[in-house]
Amino acid sequence: MCGITGYIGTDETGKIVHQGLQNLEYRGYDSAGIALNGTNLTVHKTEGEVGDLPVPAGDDVVCGIGHTRWSTHGEPTEENAHPHTDCTGEVAVVHNGIVENYDDLKAELHGDHVFRSDTDTEVIPHLVEDHLAEDVSLLTAVQRATSRLEGSFAVAVTAAGHDGIIVARQDSPLLLGHGDGETFIGSDATAFIEHTDRVTYLENGDIAHVTKQGVDIFNDGERVERTTETLDWDADAAGKSGYDHYMLKEIHEQPRALRQAISGRIDDLATNVDLTLDLPDEYLQSVEEVQIVACGTSYHAGLFAKELLEAKADVRVTVHVASEYDFRGGRDPWRTLVVAITQSGETADTLSALREASQAGTRTLALTNTLGSTVTREADDTVFIRAGPEIGVAATKTFVSQVATAALFSVYLGRVRNEMTTETATDLLESLRDLPGAVQQVLDREAKIRETAREYADSDAFFYVGRRAGYPVALESALKLKEISYDHAEGFAAGELKHGPLALVTDDTPVIALLTSETARKKTLNNVKEVKSRGAPVIGVASDPDATTHVDATFDVPDCGAMEPVVANVALQLFAYHVADEKGRPIDKPRNLAKSVTVE
């Protein structure tokens, strides 16, 4: 949830670590801090955003570590900001994760140590302090300290009088970047992508000693080698490129993201798909149920995938909020495929569900955006959504890329199982091929959407309704609006309005209706009439003008077959963005949220 970074090399350490924190701020922005190690150890912290922290400097600085925080233990204050230090002030630690047994460790340490914060992290520097008193190296002290921790952690430790930085990983992401005579540390590559694209992903149990001479990695006391990979994106892809916000930039990147998602995967005749999966055809033919596990926006993509898989590939699908998942109900693990959808590949609840499924004996497949992430190492197989880096906390292009990739998988599975005709496959694949152009047409109509957003920005609440493939889009669109505008917004299956939610409808609660293809729009129009009769203004999203005769405003979208609800989603992303912008919200840094949720 938090972001950590570090640097050792010949450049300006304070400046590089500070820039790394700015790059990682989408992971948390409650407080920030940096520790520099040189002639002595200095710590610089602030409550608030990274921009509130001056770029630190020090004498003969050799290395530095930094942290931007999303609070889990203790309020967002300067005292609770990382780095945390020991009693001597000579050991500094930054940490992403949760130390589940910190109460016990704190009670054990309390008599001999002074604690200054309310965080779980502060036990770590005190443990390191105790072990350094045994006259061992910093590497050994960190190995012994982390062996006492229960829970998840990615930590970086530096100490006065000791060479370099020690980093350790357990169930929280951590990677190293390799430059020319310099090494970077980050929760993800965004921390240092402007400096290098060569990275090493640390694995669970790894502890690395990072010095000017290089990196030594250990696991279970033994030296190990980890591969170095080259990332397929650059610093420009992670910048704003002139847009006011990352979110708006990423909304406008969706045509390219979609082209990347489908590129080289559809055959010339649009009858089949190549996903280079290792899962055997015989196994896929035997599958009786696909279980999808995901959180947030990825969960909504999973609901859309369910519509496609059941309607087009004729396979039973259940979709589970990952934090609530158990493998139960008498299912046969040998005939169940579990699909984990996670943008970052590090979502703690999704990884936990994946492990639950694996332990039960099922085979697993990951849909993710992130090369080298934990989910790619733990799932039996992986399909990448190829969206490129997404910095905005509110997911946009990764949602459409997840849905597009799920559509490809639907064709792949349906054809392997002989449950999808050539005609059905061609219709769906042609719809996918048309999707980037259709999305671009919606982006070209942004001015009208902005005008409508400004008209309704001061409404009391917003209700989104849809059926079939429109229902997950209603949920996702409501989530986008509430995330960045802080307005009350809810998505409903349109037929459920009359079973309770209709009581909330007033003349100041706009209802946004998904009236595209694949959404049973004729039935949804009946629900539109219900809310209109109670005075609610209605915004309709449709390609057919006949579907919008009873609405007050219309977002026109191009005809795009089975993928048309995805096109509608893009229009509603723009609507959410402009409502939030009209209110002056911090769109890229919505309160209380972070991009990658790496704690349970």
Contact 138, 90 (CB under 8 A): no
DSSP assignment of 559-583: --GGGHHHHHHHHHHHHHHHHHHHT
C-alpha to C-alpha distance for 188 and 109, rounded to whole angstroms? 32
Contact 215, 208 (CB under 8 A): yes
Closest CA to 259 of 130, 408, 469: 408
Q: Where are the domains of the chain?
A: 3-237, 246-442, 445-588
Residues with Cβ within 8 Å of residue 549, at least 6 apart in sequence: none
Predicted pLDDT at 320: 98
Contact 366, 340 (CB under 8 A): yes
Predicted pLDDT at 598: 55
Look up residue 314 and give its amino acid. D
- pLDDT tens for each residue of the chain, 600 residues long: 688 999 999 999 999 999 999 988 877 778 899 999 998 999 999 998 888 999 998 778 999 999 998 767 678 788 999 999 999 999 999 999 889 999 999 999 988 999 999 999 999 999 999 999 999 999 999 999 999 999 889 999 999 999 999 999 998 889 999 999 999 999 988 899 899 999 999 999 999 999 999 999 999 999 999 999 998 766 666 677 788 999 999 999 999 999 999 999 999 999 999 999 999 999 999 999 999 999 999 999 999 999 999 999 999 999 999 999 999 988 999 999 999 999 999 898 999 999 999 999 999 999 999 888 889 999 999 999 999 888 888 999 999 999 999 999 999 999 999 999 999 999 999 999 999 999 999 999 999 999 999 999 999 999 999 999 999 999 999 999 999 999 999 999 999 988 998 889 999 999 999 999 888 888 999 999 999 989 999 999 999 988 888 899 999 999 999 999 999 999 999 999 999 999 999 999 898 886 666 555
Q: What are phi and psi of 176, to 5 degrees?
A: -115, 140
C-alpha to C-alpha distance for 83 and 97, rounded to whole angstroms? 14
Topology of the domain covering 445-588: Rossmann fold (3.40.50)
What the block records as the tokens of 475 is 């949920």
pLDDT digits (tens, 9 = 90+) for 45-92: 999 888 899 999 877 899 999 999 876 767 878 899 999 999 999 999
DSSP for residue 117: S
- Catalytic-residue membership of 595: yes
Identical fold, 3-237 and 246-442: no
C-alpha to C-alpha distance for 446 and 290, rounded to whole angstroms? 37
Helix (H) or strand (E) holding 196: none
Q: Is 417 exposed, middle or buried (0-12, 13-18, 19+ CB in 10 A)?
A: middle
Give the architecture (CATH level 2) of 246-442: 3-Layer(aba) Sandwich (3.40)
Contact 260, 231 (CB under 8 A): no
CA atoms within 13 A on the CB side of 87: 13
Predicted pLDDT at 290: 98
Q: Checking phi first, is residue 386 left (phi over 0); if not, alpha (psi -120 to 50) or beta?
A: left
C-alpha to C-alpha distance for 335 and 594, rounded to whole angstroms? 36
Predicted pLDDT at 59: 73
C-alpha separations of 41 from 47, 82, 370, 371, 500 in Å: 20, 14, 35, 35, 60
Q: What share of the chain has pLDDT > 90, as a percent?
A: 80
Predicted pLDDT at 235: 60
What the block records as the tokens of 156 is 């970086």
**CATH number corresponding to 3-237:** 3.60.20.10
Per the confidence metrics, is the pTM higher than 0.85? no
Q: Checking phi first, is residue 479 left (phi over 0); if not, alpha (psi -120 to 50) or beta?
A: alpha
| Number of neighbours of residue 496 by Cβ within 10 angstroms | 14
Length of the chain: 600
Closest CA to 55 of 4, 20, 91: 20
The beta strands (E) that lie in 9-53 are given as 31-37, 41-47
Helices assigned H by DSSP within 25-148: 102-109, 123-132, 138-146
- Catalytic residue (one of 2, 63, 295, 560): 2
Contact 35, 62 (CB under 8 A): no
C-alpha to C-alpha distance for 397 and 390, rounded to whole angstroms? 8
- Catalytic-residue membership of 312: no
C-alpha to C-alpha distance for 236 and 18, rounded to whole angstroms? 19
DSSP assignment of 239-307: S-TT-SSHHHHHHHTHHHHHHHHHTTTB-TTSS-B-----S-HHHHHH--EEEEEE-HHHHHHHHHHHH
C-alpha to C-alpha distance for 156 and 208, rounded to whole angstroms? 9
Contact 124, 106 (CB under 8 A): no
Predicted pLDDT at 110: 87
- Catalytic residue (one of 306, 480, 482, 595): 595
Identify the residue whose tokens are 């970052």: 344
